[in-house]
Amino acid sequence: MQYRRVRIASVAHVLPQEVVTSDEIEARLLPLYERLGLPAGRLELMSGIGERRFFPPGTKPGGISGQTARLAIEQSGIDPALIGMLIHGSVCRDQMEPATACGVHHAAGLPAAASAIDVSNACLGLLNGMLVAADRIELGHIDAAVVVGTETGRGLVEGTIDSLNRDESVTRADVKQAFASLTIGSGSAAIVLCRDDLKADASRLLGGVMRADTSHHQLCAGDVAATTHGDDRPRMATDSEALLHAGVGLAKETWADFTREFSWTRGDIRKVITHQVGRAHRKLLLEGIGLEQEKDFPTVQFLGNTGAVALPTAWSLAIEKGHIAKGDTVALLGIGSGLSCVMLGIES
């Protein structure tokens, strides 16, 4: 799919203040480590994640998303009255009903004519949301849209720590299934998209491709654990190694579609932003599609895996730090459990 009328008016992020290191997480897991004879330092060694950030206990994503949406709108210079849609795309949400987007819409001060919907697709929610919004802008149905999300990973990480320490039947194999849960962090990101005549000097969303391999839908699954663990915090089971290789395989197939869609060679792509999972994923992905690591802007080492906001946050930071310059052709390479893959092309 290709767009001719869609601009990226702004990309913004909000990060929590509290920093939690991998060493601190392992210190809390000391009873488990001693019982199973696990070496200290393995969490950072295996993931490449030195630290991540958390919002205060009890924080709901909608309140933070409202702040981030307002920030992105302010940075965009777009009149809020022109915004015709707000999409909330993170894994985390305030409740099952109504859509978290409703509260965010209110907090952002958007007009009644702007629709508010949630889009959920694991770590791809914001990228899928961008495509939904871009379709409507390209068709002339709306002038502008906000896509926003917030991941609050504290409950998953702390719940996983408590479960691993409390259950003395936990084995090394169980720890392996829980490993990915300990890499999670928190954050918030938002993107404002608009029609080209509203922001003629802004980056262009050129289009993108999508691909799915749902034969791997059971490799990573999470839910609230009231029945199995006795509390309302989520838990997640992940076959990290199988997910890594299946994900990179799907990414390579999607990459072939992506470069064919735009008639691009690897040399045409100046910068790349990837989903932030860990060191091994980044290395295998970039090697698999033949891109130099210097083109990427990793944040996982200090933010952890922040789910659906990981790639947009890295994108926002890459712009802020000058990694992406005017005129750069940028590839956004997203992947989410399920498995699904979205790749978007940007002309900065």
Q: For the domain that residue 329 is a member of, what is the CATH number? A: 3.40.47.10
Range of the domain at 338: 204-347
- Distance between CA atoms of residues 83 and 113, nearest Å: 8
Count of Cβ atoms closer than 10 Å to residue 41 Cβ? 11
The 3-state DSSP class for residue 268 equals helix
143 within some domain: no
pLDDT digits (tens, 9 = 90+) for 220-250: 988 876 555 557 788 988 888 999 999 999 9
Q: Which range is least confidently modeled, 95-109, 134-148, 209-223, 303-317?
A: 209-223
Are 148 and 188 contacting, i.e. CB atoms less than 8 angstroms apart?
A: yes
194 counts as catalytic: no
Can you tell me the distance from the alpha carbon of 185 to that of 307, in angstroms, rounded to the nearest whole number? 8
Q: Which residue has the tokens 């990837």?
A: 274
In angstroms, the CA 272 to CA 105 distance is: 31
Tokens of 208: 């993108």
The reply to whether 289 falls in a domain is yes
Domains in the chain: how many in total?
1
What would the pLDDT profile of 290-314 be if each residue is shown by its tens digit? 999 999 999 999 999 999 999 999 9
Quote helix, strand, coil % in the chain, to nearest 5. 45, 25, 30
Query: Distances from the Cα of 348 to the Cαs of 87, 128, 193, in angstroms?
Result: 23, 20, 13
Strand partners, 220: 238
| Three-class DSSP category at 236 | strand
Type of residue numbered 62: G
Asked whether residue 171 is domain-assigned, the answer is no
Q: Is 18 part of the annotated catalytic residue set?
A: no
Q: Cα(344)–Cα(127) distance, rounded to whole angstroms?
A: 8
Query: What band does 19 get if pLDDT is binned at 50, 70 and 90?
Result: very high
Segment 26-30 mean pLDDT: 97
Q: Which of 92, 123, 194, 220 is catalytic?
A: 123
SS3 71: helix
Peptide bond before 285: cis, by omega within 30 degrees of 0? no
Among the listed residues 193, 194, 290, 174, the one whose alpha carbon sits nearest the alpha carbon of residue 235: 174
pTM here is: 0.96
pLDDT digits (tens, 9 = 90+) for 106-138: 999 999 999 999 999 999 999 999 999 999 999
Q: Is residue 222 part of a domain?
A: yes
Decide if 267 is inside a domain. Answer: yes
Q: How far apart (Å, rounded) are the C-alpha atoms in residues 285 and 144?
A: 33
Residue 76 lies in a domain: no
DSSP alpha helix (H) spans, 179-331:
226-229, 240-262, 279-289, 300-303, 310-320
- Within a domain: residue 145? no
User: Does residue 144 form part of some domain?
Assistant: no
